[in-house]
C-alpha cells in the first residue's frame, strides 16, 4: 500500500526547553538520530511516497536538514505556519490532500505502529477519522474511597488499577473532515473529534498494543534514549 502523510512539526516544545531554544523538537536526537529522521524512515519503509511537513518554530532548520526528502526516498513538501494553527488547522490550508485516506501524525512520536495496519483498519471501519490509540495502565498509590451524598462510605478500593486509551498522535484521515476545519483559524484534534461526533459522523480507534512513546516531556525523552538500542530492531531501524 502506498500513501501520503502530513507530519506536524511546528510546535515550540516548551516542555523540553532549553534544548528547543536552539533546535525544533523534531530534530532533537534519539541515540544521535533526529526524531524526525526516525519518523520519516518508518513512513518511507511502509510505503509513504509523499509527505508534507507543517513547520513553525525554527522550521527553517527542518527544511535545511530534510531538503527534498530524497535521502528517505520521499517527495517532501513544506507548509510554513505564519500563525499557530494547532494540531489540525493546517489541514484546511493544504491544497494537495489526496482523495484516498492519508496519515496525519506528530513529528515527535516513537512507536512500532504499522501505518499500513492503521490505514487498513480505517478503511475497513468506514470512519472519517481513525485514532491510533494506546492502552495505558496506572495504579493509584492510595486507597480510593467512594461515598454517597451523605458522606457514608459505599466502596473502598485499595490501590486500584485503571485502564484507559490515549491518543498516540497518529491518525488515519479522510479528506472529507477538512470541511469541519475553519480556514486560517486554530483548531486542535480534540476539537475536530468533537465536531465530528456532534455532526453524527464516525470516529474510530485502532488500538496498538506494542511500543509507543510521546517525546514531549524530558523524562520520556531520557527514557527513549536509554531504551533505543534495545528497541532498534522492533522499530525497524
- β-pairing, 143-147 vs 153-158, is antiparallel
Q: Using one digit for the tens of pLDDT, what is the confidence trace for 197-222?
A: 999 999 999 999 999 988 877 788 88
Cell numbers of 176, please? 472529507
* Cα–chain center distance at 25: 13
Cα 163 from Cα 183, distance rounded (Å): 37
- State yes or no: pLDDT of 19 exceeds 60: no
Return the CATH number of 3-132+167-231, one of 3.90.550.10, 3.30.70.3270, 3.40.50.300, 3.40.710.10: 3.90.550.10
Instruction: State the average pLDDT over residues 78-86.
Output: 88
Please check whether residue 107 is in contact with residue 12, taking contact to mean a CB–CB distance below 8 angstroms. no
Q: Using one digit for the tens of pLDDT, what is the confidence trace for 139-168?
A: 988 999 999 999 999 999 999 998 999 999
What residues does each domain of the chain span? Answer: 3-132+167-231
Task: Give the confidence band of 231 by pLDDT, cuts at 50, 70, 90.
Answer: confident
pLDDT above 70 coverage of the chain, percent: 96
Cα 185 from Cα 68, distance rounded (Å): 28
Amino acid at each position: 500500500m502506498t500513501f501520503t502523510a502530513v507530519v506536524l512539526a511546528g510546535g515550540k516544545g516548551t516542555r523540553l526547553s532549553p534544548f528547543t531554544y536552539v533546535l525544533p523538537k523534531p530534530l532533537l536526537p534519539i541515540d544521535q538520530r533526529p526524531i524526525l529522521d526516525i519518523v520519516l524512515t518508518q513512513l518511507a519503509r511502509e510505503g509513504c511516497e509523499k509527505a508534507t511537513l507543517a513547520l513553525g518554530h525554527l522550521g527553517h532548520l527542518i527544511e535545511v536538514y530534510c531538503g527534498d526528502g530524497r535521502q528517505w526516498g520521499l517527495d517532501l513538501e513544506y507548509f510554513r505556519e505564519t500563525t499557530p494553527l494547532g494540531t489540525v488547522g493546517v489541514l484546511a490550508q493544504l491544497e494537495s490532500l489526496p482523495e484516498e485516506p492519508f496519515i496525519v501524525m506528530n513529528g515527535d512520536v516513537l512507536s512500532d505502529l504499522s501505518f499500513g495496519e492503521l490505514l487498513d483498519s480505517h478503511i475497513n471501519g468506514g470512519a472519517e477519522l481513525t485514532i491510533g490509540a494506546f492502552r495505558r495502565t496506572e495504579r493509584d498509590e492510595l486507597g480510593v474511597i467512594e461515598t454517597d451524598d451523605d458522606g457514608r462510605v459505599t466502596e473502598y478500593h485499595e490501590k486500584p488499577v485503571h485502564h484507559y486509551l490515549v491518543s498516540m498522535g497518529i491518525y488515519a484521515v479522510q479528506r472529507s473532515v477538512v470541511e469541519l476545519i475553519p480556514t486560517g483559524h486554530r483548531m486542535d484534534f480534540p476539537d475536530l473529534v468533537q465536531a465530528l461526533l456532534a455532526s453524527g459522523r464516525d470516529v474510530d480507534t485502532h488500538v496498538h498494543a506494542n511500543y509507543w512513546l510521546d517525546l514531549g516531556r524530558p523524562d520520556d525523552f531520557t527514557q527513549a534514549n536509554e531504551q533505543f538500542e534495545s528497541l532498534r530492531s522492533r522499530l525497524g531501524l
